[in-house]
Structure 1
Amino acid sequence: MFVSRSRFALRVAALSSAIVLTACGGSDDVASTNQPIAAVPAPPADPGFVDSAPVPSVPAFVDNIATNQRGDARYATLSTNAAVRVVSRFLDLWQPSTMLVDAGVSAPANGGFPAVVASACSGLPASGTPCGTIVNSSVLAANVQYVVDATTARTQQQADAAYFDDRRGKGYSVTDGMGPLTAAWRTAAQQTTSITSVPPDATTVLYNDSGNNVGVGGSANASFGKVVDLLNEMGNNASTEPTKRFYKYARPYRWSTSVVVAPSLVPAESTTPATDGGFISGHEGEAMRDAMTMAWLVPERFQEMVSRGLELGENRIFAGMHSPLDVIGGRMLALAVSAANLATYASDAQTAYGQAHQTLQQLTGTSDATFATFAHSGTATTDRFADYTANKAAFLRRMTFGFAAIESTDAPPVVPKGAEVLLQTRFPYLSADQRRVVLKTTEMPSGYPVMDDAEGWGRLNLFAAADGYGAFNGNVTVSMDASKGGFNAADLWRNDIAGAGKLTLQGTGMLTLAGKNSYTGGTQVSGGTLAAASPTAFGTGDVYVGSGGSVKVAASAPVTIAARYTQLDNTTLELDIDGNGGGRLRVGGALSIAGGTLHVKFVNGYAPKAGDTIALIDGAAGSAKFSAVTVDGFKATPVYTGTGVGV
């Protein structure tokens, strides 16, 4: 590269015919021959179908949420109560003494449904009238032993966190998942709590949070009231009590005296065990619902918020108040309730979304362009969810709490009716059907206790889903509109994408792929910018950059295109070169450059010297040339060889 300090674009005459040569690797010597070929390769073949996630042919919770009631004979059975059905695989492990919502509750006959008589079970496994029969002793023994192990090894920090998450309003507690936005959120919502310290010992009189939980709604809060109103609406028909009263499964400290309830929470132990069932966790049900709603309202913190929802569930285990299966059941019902109520209150949700962003941006001095960056500006000391890798690992662990699969792990994925709404604001540029496929291709394997419900709520992995598709099956066409801002303008998919399908990017936004991708159907860029942030971002198929499209190579190691790379005129290839291999492109198949712009940036402090020759593309180039070559900050001469392109 022959350098003088100025920005310079060297224009090279566009070829009258396209050039394709076979890649072989080699030196940076200037090519001495130009051998044109007959034609530009065609784009990767269309697979001929689009993947889908059909709705299961079972009664859908989103259509029957209103049946989640207690004290009503019409909704007292497994077949008539939608919430009881969501977690009905618990029956593989435990058979309640009566198959009715009847623990401590009765109901008169109603509409042809017989009266419900309150159960006589005591709620105490070791004495009194049994509340049920153990069906799978190994799983239920492991369920209680997990709590024994967790509470006997509990740190003081974990005990304190368990106390706060027990006593505080759940909406207030999970708001700290907002990280750098927490203070602004609590100010906007006018949230308060009276729980500011942990009692010194177990003799302290029990007290409850006299704060306002999710905050002040309605006209009393002109700038954020719609947000608070939505959080309150999301609690409609959301009670965990009908499910508790049906399954009648005791809390862990009633199963084993080896469970050590957090001393500060001993006063909170109920004196009426018959109506104080452990399965499912009410705290987790409410917390995960609030966290899911906040993730929907501020998808810039989506993964952090759903992580906070599961963290609160684990704190219930550290408290000694709930078992892993209790928490898993609470999480499942929370997702079902969230989807149902987001659909029911769709108009209110959209209004709240707009209000949340407008007000939070005002309070943080940000704009649409800078809000997402600010939302992730915390450090490990100011935002305990700042570490993406740690969050991902913790979320996956909390999905199953270490239980091994007890059934086949390869059952087909199933996505509940209406679940796609949970990703609506996270992927505003995808259709509802596409969001269903995202859920389908990222969900958990089958076989885990309780989680294999007929609708599919138990296997949904919202953290993974927020990282985009897990597999391309068929033709996946993504169209982004940068003028709409937010994720429409730029998004990052971090999953390891498999499958035999093809990705086509259209529009004006930028989509970055950062996983260890192995999809084989090829990649076509017809508009917008497709960025590679990992060496295998583009899978193993052809990459075809059509007119109006751009590709950006910004990985920290060379990006490999195993098959052909084709670039037409009116396109751009940006290479972000760091001097250590990052930003380079390695093409294993035919390299066809029929014009377009090569844009080179030097990043991460790398500054080449005058006279350096910088290798950029490994692959037989021959007389294939870009129409323009731009190197930021330098005057540069392109170097085309039989084995690559450099400057």
Structure 2
Amino acid sequence: MKKRLTLLAVSFVFAFPSLAKEVSLNAAAAIAASVTPASPSASYDALESQSLAALRNALKGDSPTLSREQLGHSTQSATLADTAWLKARGYDFQSKARQQAGISLLSAFTAQPSPVLAANLATVTAINRDATAATRQQALADAEGISYLYFLSDALGPRLGKAFITAYDKGEIGKAAALIKASEVSTGAAKKHFNNPRPFLVSGNTIHLVPDDTVAKDQTPYTADGGSFPSGHANTGYTDALLMAQMLPERYEALVTRGARYGYSRLVLGVHYPLDVMGSRMVAQSNVAHYLNDAKYRALFNEARDQLRSALEKECGMALAQCAKTDGKNDPYRDPAMQTLYRFTMTYGLPQQKGERATLVVPAGAEALLESALPQLSAAQRRALMVKTAIPAGYPLSGTTPEQQFWQRLDLAAAYAAAKQAH
């Protein structure tokens, strides 16, 4: 135990990714573009094509072609998701209570100073304006795939990602598909509460709504209705990615980063601000930690995880640990640069407020988010790791309460990297 603690302490001197303010928008955009169909890896590009084809096929269902009308109504079929199993278990997700907890967690949104709000609009405008064609195509696929899990495949690498799509389409991971989607806590109540207009509706904005040349392929500009804060899509991306990371810890950092990359897509499309996706990260982390600390949920989770892992091993035709290994340049989500992108998306370079801050306090049970990925560490060590690798205080939404401070500053990618560096 003492040896582990010493190694952990040594790891804290290793250079963590630059703070978001030190990463330019152009640099972040270049990293984000590396995990699109424009990747230099042929096998990764093939995985992206397979994922998009599987999504389009699921969206159109039994219809001969995919129409725009189908996009907003398509959900996981009974083949893909074992909703009957989940319903029979009768678990109460306490959705309304979690929605209210989310509103409370994000209450600092109403007190953002004008420089933050100005930077909030300027940042989405720049990301939307300068996005490459491939980045826009990725954003469209992310947007229309909200009801499915296909977007997670590229974070698994070409080998495991292909096995994942195959197992998903066959209905072999139906329990995980049902549980993960049911664990998404709606942001609808929060959107109504904060009632913030989307960036493309702000007077004088220069947002470019992206024509769909990827999913429905009808060139209709992608748009969205309802309030902007927090982002429902980003909440979905973070929640799904976090839960899959718990089930597949062999790909933990790649999956966690995929959640952040999914949120980035919302700015590419010009339908959300940085604050919207930052807030969604906070509530998704809090919600997933809450569920993982519930023994009844854990029972469902373990059953779904075991089915998922068995199915993937079967489709891989080899041990899961082997199938999940990094595949060199064909595995861009394992590139260290992605950790820098994750750090960037925690603040999007928005202004930091100076001043003294209270010591960061880890909420009870938060360490569950690192449990499967870092089983060699005790709960106390994981909590210490979360504090040591957190971003500095004072960034937007960090608020005044201990929970607001913690969930905004928690950098799971850096925590995981620090532990791996030590061991």
2:301: which partner in 1? 349
- Per-residue Cα deviation, 1:225-247 (whole angstroms, up to 9, x for no partner): 33223313422xx0111111111
2:151 maps to 1:183: no
- Per-residue Cα deviation, 1:401-424 (whole angstroms, up to 9, x for no partner): 112311337542222222111112
From 94, 104, 125, the equivalent of 1:85 is: 104
Contact 2:360 2:402 in 1 (8 A): no
2:208 maps to 1:260: yes
- Per-residue Cα deviation, 1:541-568 (whole angstroms, up to 9, x for no partner): xxxxxxxxxxxxxxxxxxxxxxxxxxxx
* Secondary structure in 2 matching 1:141: helix
From 167, 186, 193, the equivalent of 1:246 is: 193
Provide the C-alpha distance between the structure 2 equivalents of 1:269 and 1:232, rounded to a whole number of angstroms: 23
Cα pair distance change 1:325/1:409, threshold 3 Å:
farther
Equivalent position amino acid for 2:149 in 1:
G
Provide the C-alpha distance between the structure 1 equivalents of 2:111 and 2:145, rounded to a whole number of angstroms: 34
From 312, 320, 323, the equivalent of 2:273 is: 323
Aligned-residue offset at 1:332:
0.9
2:316 maps to 1:372: no
Aligned-residue offset at 1:340:
1.6
* Secondary structure in 2 matching 1:300: helix
In the TM superposition, 1:87-106 aligns within 5 A as 87-93=106-112
2:398 maps to 1:451: yes
Provide the C-alpha distance between the structure 2 equivalents of 1:400 and 1:448, rounded to a whole number of angstroms: 7
Contact 2:153 2:162 in 1 (8 A): no
Equivalent position amino acid for 1:67 in 2:
A
- Per-residue Cα deviation, 1:111-143 (whole angstroms, up to 9, x for no partner): xxxxxxxxxxxxxxxxxxxxxxxxx21110110
2:223: which partner in 1? 269
Number of residues of Structure 1 aligned to a counterpart in Structure 2: 322
Provide the C-alpha distance between the structure 2 equivalents of 1:232 and 1:178, rounded to a whole number of angstroms: 19
Provide the C-alpha distance between the structure 2 equivalents of 1:232 and 1:164, rounded to a whole number of angstroms: 18
* Secondary structure in 1 matching 2:354: coil
2:421 maps to 1:494: yes
From 59, 78, 97, the equivalent of 1:67 is: 97
1:398: which partner in 2? 345
Provide the C-alpha distance between the structure 2 equivalents of 1:233 and 1:278, rounded to a whole number of angstroms: 22
Structure with the higher strand share, 1 or 2: 1
2:378: which partner in 1? 431
Cα pair distance change 1:266/1:148, threshold 3 Å:
farther
* Secondary structure in 2 matching 1:286: helix
Aligned-residue offset at 1:321:
0.8
* Secondary structure in 1 matching 2:180: helix
Contact 2:200 2:206 in 1 (8 A): yes
1:151: which partner in 2? 128
Provide the C-alpha distance between the structure 1 equivalents of 2:196 and 2:238, rounded to a whole number of angstroms: 21
Aligned-residue offset at 1:312:
0.9
Contact 1:445 1:459 in 2 (8 A): yes
Equivalent position amino acid for 1:262 in 2:
V
Aligned-residue offset at 1:450:
0.7
* Secondary structure in 1 matching 2:328: coil
Equivalent position amino acid for 2:253 in 1:
Q
Equivalent position amino acid for 2:303 in 1:
T
Cα pair distance change 1:441/1:373, threshold 3 Å:
farther
* Secondary structure in 1 matching 2:333: coil
If the length of structure 1 is used for normalisation, what is the TM-score?
0.47
Contact 2:245 2:252 in 1 (8 A): yes
Contact 1:291 1:305 in 2 (8 A): yes
Aligned-residue offset at 1:266:
5.5
Aligned-residue offset at 1:324:
0.5
Aligned-residue offset at 1:445:
1.3
Provide the C-alpha distance between the structure 2 equivalents of 1:302 and 1:227, rounded to a whole number of angstroms: 16
Equivalent position amino acid for 2:318 in 1:
T
Aligned-residue offset at 1:364:
1.6
In the TM superposition, 1:503-514 aligns within 5 A as 512=423
Aligned sequence identity (%)? 31
2:255: which partner in 1? 305
Contact 1:443 1:459 in 2 (8 A): yes
CA RMSD of aligned residues (A): 2.6
2:42: which partner in 1? none
Provide the C-alpha distance between the structure 2 equivalents of 1:140 and 1:266, rounded to a whole number of angstroms: 29
Provide the C-alpha distance between the structure 2 equivalents of 1:315 and 1:307, rounded to a whole number of angstroms: 13
Equivalent position amino acid for 1:376 in 2:
K
Contact 1:65 1:337 in 2 (8 A): no
From 234, 238, 251, the equivalent of 1:288 is: 238
Aligned-residue offset at 1:337:
1.4
Aligned-residue offset at 1:64:
7.7
Contact 2:95 2:186 in 1 (8 A): no
Equivalent position amino acid for 1:375 in 2:
A
Contact 2:115 2:351 in 1 (8 A): no
Equivalent position amino acid for 1:260 in 2:
H
Cα pair distance change 1:434/1:184, threshold 3 Å:
same
Aligned-residue offset at 1:149:
1.2
2:16: which partner in 1? none
Contact 1:411 1:445 in 2 (8 A): no
Aligned-residue offset at 1:181:
1.1
1:359: which partner in 2? 311
Aligned-residue offset at 1:281:
0.6
Provide the C-alpha distance between the structure 2 equivalents of 1:66 and 1:384, rounded to a whole number of angstroms: 38
Contact 1:284 1:330 in 2 (8 A): yes
State the structure with bigger RCO (CA 8 A, min sep 6), 1 or 2.
Answer: 2
Provide the C-alpha distance between the structure 2 equivalents of 1:409 and 1:319, rounded to a whole number of angstroms: 37
1:202: which partner in 2? none
1:467: which partner in 2? 417
From 332, 336, 340, the equivalent of 1:384 is: 332
Contact 1:171 1:287 in 2 (8 A): no
2:178: which partner in 1? 229
Contact 1:240 1:280 in 2 (8 A): yes
Aligned-residue offset at 1:373:
4.2
